[in-house]
């Protein structure tokens, strides 16, 4: 059995997620999200969708990016 790197659970149906050349093993999407999903630089929530990137930081939405001083980011055109 494989072991989840987030919670330590040993499980026979783990998943492996590879990012670049680094592989990670998890027993659930919840544990994968906890370990791998970036956090918004403004409000600190987990970014599960596309989000946005500005100035080298990740934001969950344009509102947070604007609050951080990136006035050129918009949610819709």
Cβ partners under 8 Å of residue 72, min gap 6: 54
Q: Answer with the residue of higher pLDDT: 74 or 31.
A: 31
pLDDT tens by residue, 27-67: 999 999 999 999 999 999 999 998 999 999 999 999 999 99
Q: How many CB atoms lie within 10 A of CB 67?
A: 13
User: pTM for the whole thing?
Assistant: 0.79
């Amino acid at each position: 059995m494989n072991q989840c790197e987030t919670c330590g659970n040993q499980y026979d149906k783990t998943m492996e997620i590879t990012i670049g050349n680094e592989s990670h093993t998890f027993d659930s999407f919840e544990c994968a999200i906890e370990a791998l999903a970036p956090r918004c630089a403004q409000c600190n929530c987990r970014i599960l969708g596309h989000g946005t990137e500005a100035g080298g930081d990740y934001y969950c939405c344009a509102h947070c990016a604007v609050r951080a001083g990136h006035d050129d980011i918009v949610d819709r055109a």
